[in-house]
Amino acid sequence: MSLSNILVSLVGIAVAISVHEFGHAYSAHLLGDDTAKTYGRMTLDPAKHIDPIGLLMMVIFHFGWAKPVPVNSKNFKNYKVGNVLVSLAGAIANIITAIVCVLLLKVVKMEALRDIATVTMMYNMGFAAFNLLPIPPLDGWGIISPFIPYKYNDIVYKYESMSYPILLILLFTGWYEFIVSPIRDIIWNIVMMFY
């Protein structure tokens, strides 16, 4: 991978992480929880969200992580609705950013800017699709977990405790692609509606 490709990837990753975490923080703020705002995380500044090791993993393996935005769901008027909306907000922010990149590709002619817009679009779509997987601590789990009946708490606890091994198995066996592809295809179709 050339230096220019690495730099373009870093821009795409930084944008994807920043808008994703800002989406969580801002939606929580709108719903009555200012925990992220208090910690200076309701910002688009990548430096506030990037985890150095997670960033390195993303550049090398296309799998990594950011610093999670702190959210106190006790501040929501409705716990279930608040959790679902905040969990969705990160992916929605990524999809909106991907759409903005597509719109830029329609008007920008400079090759370097087109490269940045294309890579940023791809990272945002990938970030949204990955985070929508229903595996703790990803957002997809935050969307469905509030609706799991209390009587299944023991099963949920065991599933949550096994989440990282499950995620690693999915990634290293290739099953991850099988599961995430339909989500990515839906996001791709949404974004391409604006091309």
Going residue by residue through the chain, which has 195 residues, state the pLDDT in tens, using 9 for 90 and above.
688 888 999 999 999 999 999 999 999 999 999 999 999 999 999 999 999 998 888 878 777 789 999 999 999 999 899 999 999 999 999 999 999 999 999 999 999 999 999 999 999 999 999 999 999 989 999 999 999 998 888 888 888 899 889 888 988 888 888 999 999 999 999 999 998
194 phi, psi to nearest 5 deg: -100, 5
Q: How far is CA 89 from CA 82, 116, 137, in A?
A: 10, 24, 15
CA angle 98, 99, 102 (to 5 degrees): 90
For helices 3-30 and 79-107, give the axis angle rounded to 10 degrees. 140
Q: What is the pLDDT of residue 127?
A: 94
Return the structure tokens found at 94: 């990524």
* Residue 56 · residue 64 · CB < 8 Å: yes
| Residues facing 66 on adjacent strands | 50
Q: What is the pLDDT of residue 174?
A: 84
Q: What is the pLDDT of residue 190?
A: 97
Q: How far apart are CA 159 and CA 13, in angstroms?
A: 29
Q: How far apart are CA 151 and CA 160, in angstroms?
A: 15
Q: What is the pLDDT of residue 3?
A: 82
Q: What residue type is assigned to position 96 of the chain? A: I
66 phi, psi to nearest 5 deg: -120, 175
Residue 22, Cβ density class (10 Å: 0-12 exposed, 13-18 middle, ≥19 buried): buried
Check if 160 is active-site: no
Taking the whole predicted model, whether its pTM rises above 0.95 is answered as: no
Residue with tokens 């992480």: 17
